[in-house]
Amino acid sequence: MKIPTSGPTLRELLSDQDLMSEAARILTAATGPEVKGRYRHWDKLRHLDPPAGLTTRAWWLALKFARAQLAKPITLLDKTGTPFTFSMTDTVLQAIQKIDRDASGKIEISEQVTSPETRDRYIINSLIQEAIASSQLEGAVTTIERAKDMIRTGRKPTDQSEQMILNNYRAMRRVRQFARDRLTPERILELQRVVTAGTLDDPDAAGRLRRREDDVVVSDFDGKILHRPPDANELEARLDRMCAFANGEDGDAFVHPVIRAIILHFWVGYDHPFVDGNGRTARALFYWSMLSQGYWLCEYISISTLLRSQPAKYARAYLYTETDQNDLTYFVLYQLGIIRRAIEAVHVHLDVKIEEVRRVEALLRQAVVLNHRQLALLSHSLKHPNGRSRYSIRSHRSSHNVVYQTARTDLLDLAARGLLTRRKLGRTFYFYPQPDLADRLKRLEA
């Protein structure tokens, strides 16, 4: 990956005599901090045509000056002790307003999610999706169907990729459990230990900070070094400062909750405090931060699914910040876009699922009394025909968060109605949808 070209710093621009001779005209140019709603980095801006009457350097000076008026420092420091900053531009404010509206408080969303009878299934689906995608971002190689089958049936992982996914699923479930608690260094170490269990060459590296001899760097696939994190000797103090920031104990300055969660995500990536598992831990902590601050819809979204689709843009968001005087606005804007798209995807997904349930219910026409768990299983079966679906008592329990006897009764009842067939493999009974399931439902209705 190409490292973005750094532009002139504001100090360098202000010491340019040619620019300063026209400073009044340049600094009062109607440019603002953005270019047509885009927060452009020098690496992109230098290839654009500047506004009439300005050179590219003069345009950059006007932008940097406008950004400096909005810049807000935080307690995250770079390796030289210089603070990172972010700017609340109009684009940032608009994105935050939409996320506030769509992900917290009392919002309009399908009863399929808000109903206690069905919400567990949707939460578990989203946890599985995030676990798979987050692990694939870090190199896990397996199919989504195999990974889902492993988690739902409880079978043991067959390779390191599956172990990574299972670990991430367990970490995401753990995040839900302590979402109301303060973040501590011990909690962060616990999460890293969970996401790396059974996957490290040196098992001793799980649950501890990296050491100087570990020589951890961030590289691309070609081995090119993109980032050298701070010295290992600083990590304990930096971790304490990170937790204070995450808990809102870093001073009187207000940082919007969504911005705080995004910066926490960046902070872990920048410090890279562990030998491995930094990215997965960072994304898990982002979820903790959003949930702890009341953004309950984040239980249902998967940011890693979108990050995985364009990994270069994810990496570039980090690099833009580091190559423009610690300006976090680049990373903030990128992540705000990801969150908004993830929320939109939830609504689209729910529309599809609701239609599937309606289709099953239409087939049944109330001729057969089935509960919501059985309807969900039949809906899944209709969507995955040709013998690609199988269910066990354990997978049904996992999908709906019910006890063994409830799951067993559900499946045996469907088998008794002729909708599923039961086979024994080893010591486990599996239930398969009948090949002509849709026709059988119609006959039951008749």
Residues 147 and 242 in one domain: yes
Residue 354, pLDDT > 90, answer no
pLDDT of residue 349: 74
pLDDT > 90? residue 60: yes
Neighbours of 172 (CB within 10 A): 27
Question: What pLDDT does residue 364 have?
Answer: 60
129 pLDDT band (50/70/90 cuts)? confident
Give me the CATH number covering residue 434.
1.10.10.10
> Which pLDDT band, with edges at 50, 70 and 90, does 84 fall under?
very high
The verdict on 56 and 119 lying in the same domain is no
State pLDDT tens for residues 288-321: 999 999 998 888 888 998 999 989 999 999 999 9
Q: Work out the widest C-alpha separation in the chain, in whole angstroms.
A: 88
Residue at 360 is within a domain: no
CATH of the domain at 243: 1.10.3290.10
Q: What is the pLDDT of residues 318-338, one digit of tens each?
A: 999 999 999 999 999 999 999
Cα–Cα dist 257/96, whole Å: 9
Alpha-carbon 169 to chain mean position = 13
pLDDT at 114 over 80: no
Among 20-24, 54-58, 193-197, 415-419, which is the least confidently predicted range? Answer: 20-24
Kindly state whether residues 331 and 375 are assigned to the same domain: no
Q: What share of the chain has pLDDT > 70, as a percent?
A: 91
As for how many domains the chain has, the answer is: 3
- 115 and 227, same domain (yes or no): yes
Tell me if 405 is assigned to some domain.
yes
Our CA angle for 65, 68, 69, nearest 5°, is 95
Domain assignment of residue 416, yes or no: yes
pLDDT of res. 379:
81
Is residue 435 domain-resident?
yes
The reply to whether 19 and 158 lie within a common domain is no
pLDDT value, residue 37: 92
430 shares its domain with 405: yes
Domain edge (last residue) among 348, 378, 410: 348
- Domain-embedded: residue 5: no
Does residue 121 have a pLDDT over 70? no
What residues make up the domain containing 425? Answer: 365-445
Contact predicate 237/75, CB 8 Å: no
Question: 255 and 116, same structural domain?
Answer: yes
Among the candidates 348, 377, 404, a domain finishes at 348
Question: 103 and 57: one domain?
Answer: no
How do residues 224-254 score in pLDDT, each as one tens digit? Answer: 999 999 999 999 999 999 999 999 998 878 9
Encoding tokens for residue 377?
């299983």
In a domain, 265, yes or no: yes
**Please, which pLDDT band fits residue 128 given cuts at 50, 70 and 90?**
confident
Domain boundary among 26, 43, 71: 71
Residues 333, 230 share a domain? yes
pLDDT confidence bin for 106, thresholds 50/70/90: low
The 3-class SS string of the chain reads CCCCCCCCCHHHHHCCHHHHCCHHHHHCCCCCCCECCECCCHHHHCCCCCCCCCCHHHHHHHHHHHHHHHEEEEEEECCCCCEEEEECCHHHHHHHHHHHHHHCCCCCCCHHHHCCCCHHHHHHHHHHHHHHHHHHHCCCCCCHHHHHHHHHHCCCCCCHHHHHHHHHHHHHHHHHHCCCCCCCHHHHHHHHHHHHCCCCCCHHHCCCCCCHHHCCCEECCCCCEEECCCCHHHHHHHHHHHHHHHCCCCCCCCCCHHHHHHHHHHHHHHHCCCCCCHHHHHHHHHHHHHHHCCCHHHHHCCHHHHHHHCHHHHHHHHHHHHCCCCECHHHHHHHHHHHHHHHHHHHHHHHHHHHHHHHHHHHHCCCCCCCHHHHHHHHHHHHCCCCCCCEEHHHHHHHHCCCHHHHHHHHHHHHHCCCEEEEEECCEEEEEECCCHHHHHHHHHC
Q: Are residues 105 and 58 in the same domain?
A: no
Closest CA to 277 of 139, 127, 78, 77: 139
Same domain, 244 and 375: no
pLDDT digits (tens, 9 = 90+) for 265-282: 999 999 999 999 999 999
Yes or no: say if 322 and 309 are a contact pair by the CB < 8 Å rule: no
401 and 314 together in one domain: no
d(CA 239, CA 322): 20
Residue 145 lies inside a defined structural domain of this protein: yes
pLDDT of residue 46: 96
Residue 236 belongs to some domain of the structure: yes
Confidence band (pLDDT; 50, 70, 90) for 115? low
